[in-house]
Amino acid sequence: MQNENKSCPLTHVSSCLKENVNHIENSFGNSGDIIIKELLWMQKWPSALFYIDGLVNTQLLHDSVLRSLMRVNEHHVPEGTEPFDYLKDQVLSW
């Protein structure tokens, strides 16, 4: 698939969270509609949640997603498990 939007070139996701956050901010012109919540998941892994203000039910987001992410004592990621896989399969699945 060819990128037709020359102002926002296709790039790969970086292993550096801050680079990804900066890319999203710059891609959207530092719009106030793009909300970025940075957090330290389980007091170990730097994480970020991106959403567009006005298109997301923020109460549901806070009550379901963020509350689930912040329950540190309820999560134990087994040794050798990728944090993203655990997050996707165990924390955010309904």
CA–CA dist 48, 40 (Å, integer): 8
pLDDT (0 to 100) of residue 18: 92
pLDDT (0 to 100) of residue 11: 67
pLDDT (0 to 100) of residue 3: 46
The burial class, CB within 10 Å (0-12 / 13-18 / 19+), for 87 is buried
pLDDT (0 to 100) of residue 7: 58
- CA 24 vs CA 40, 52, 92: distances in Å: 19, 12, 22
Tokens standing for residue 35: 């909300």
pLDDT in tens, 55-93: 999 898 888 777 777 765 566 777 887 777 877 777 666
Angle, alpha carbons 50-79-71 (nearest 5°): 45
pLDDT in tens, 20-40: 899 888 888 878 899 998 888
